Structure 1
Amino acid sequence: MARLNVNPTRMELSKLKKKLASARRGHKLLKDKRDELMRQFMNLIRENRQLRNEVEKAINEANRYMAVAGSVMQREVLETALMLPKQEVELEVNDKNVMSVYIPEFKPKFRTEDTNDIYSYGMAFTSIDLDGAVSALSAVFPMMIRLAEVEKACQLMADEIEKTRRRVNALEHIMIPDYEETIKYITMKLSENERSTTTSLMKVKEMVLKDSHHYH
Structure 2
Amino acid sequence: MANVVVNPTRMELTRLKKKLVTASRGHKLLKDKRDELMRQFLDMARENMELRKKVEAGIKAANTGFVIAKAGMNEQTLSTALMAPKQEVRIALGDRNVMSVDIPVYDYKTKSANSNDIYSYGFAFTSGELDDAVKSLSDILPDMLRLAEVEKSCQMLAAEIEKTRRRVNALEHVIIPETREGIKYISMKLDENERSTQVRLMKVKDMMLEEAHHYKEHQFEHAQ
Question: Which residue of structure 2 lines up, in the alignment, with residue 176 of structure 1?
Answer: 176
Match of 1:214, SS state, is helix
Give, in whole Å, the separation in 2 of the partners of 1:117 and 1:47.
30
Corresponding residue SS for 2:107: strand
* 8 Å CA contact retained: 1:2, 1:178: no
Partner Cα distance (1:90, 1:165) in 2 = 38
- Residue of structure 1 equivalent to 2:133: 133
Aligned residues of 1:92 and 1:107 also touching (Cα < 8 A) = yes
Following TM superposition, the consecutive aligned residue runs of length 4 or more in structure 1 with deviations greater than 4 angstroms are none
Partner of 2:154: 154
Distance 1:40 1:85 in 2: 38
Match of 2:197 in 1: 197
- Following the alignment from structure 2 to structure 1, what is the Cα–Cα distance between the partners of residues 204 and 134? 102
Tell me the residue number matched to 2:207.
207
Alpha-carbon distance change, 178 to 25 in structure 1, aligned in 2, over 3 angstroms: same
CA distance, structure 1, for counterparts of residue 38 and residue 196 of structure 2: 53
Partners of 1:177 and 1:4 in 2: CA distance: 12
Aligned to 1:72: 72
1:1-216 paired onto structure 2 within 5 Å: 1-2=1-2, 4-214=4-214
Deviation at 1:137, TM superposition (A): 0.4
How far 1:2 moved relative to its partner?
A: 4.5
Q: 1:150 to 1:198 in 2, by over 3 A?
A: same
- Letter paired with 2:127: S
Conserved 8 A contact 1:4-1:179:
no
Partner letter of residue 57 of structure 1?
A: A
1:213 Cα deviation (Å)?
2.4
Q: What secondary structure sits across from 1:104 in the alignment?
A: strand
Question: Which residue does the alignment assign to 2:221?
Answer: none
Q: Distance in 2 between matches of 1:75 and 1:188?
A: 90
The letter for the 2-side match of 1:42 is L
Task: State how far apart, in whole Å, the 1-side matches of 2:118 and 2:3 are.
Answer: 70
Give the counterpart letter for 1:71 in structure 2. Answer: A
Hey, what's the Cα distance between the residues in 1 that align with 2:85 and 2:14?
Answer: 73
Is the contact made by 1:3 and 1:179 (CA closer than 8 Å) also made in structure 2?
A: no
User: What is the Cα deviation at residue 6 of structure 1?
Assistant: 2.1
Instruction: Supply the distance in 2 between the matched residues of 1:42 and 1:65 (Cα, whole angstroms).
Output: 35
- Specify the structure having the higher radius of gyration (Cα): 2
TM-score, structure 2 as length reference:
0.94
Offset at residue 184 of structure 1 (A) = 0.5
**3-state SS, counterpart of residue 172 of structure 1:** helix
- 1:150 deviation in Å? 0.3
Q: Percent identity?
A: 62
CA distance in structure 2 between the aligned counterparts of 1:53 and 1:83, rounded to whole angstroms: 29
Contact 1:3–1:178 (CA under 8 A) maintained in structure 2: no
Single out whichever of 106-115 and 193-202 deviates more from structure 2. 106-115
The count of aligned residue pairs is 216
Partner Cα separation in structure 1 for residue 214 and residue 109 of structure 2: 105
Q: Is the 8 A contact 1:20 1:179 kept in 2?
A: yes
SS of 1:125's equivalent?
coil
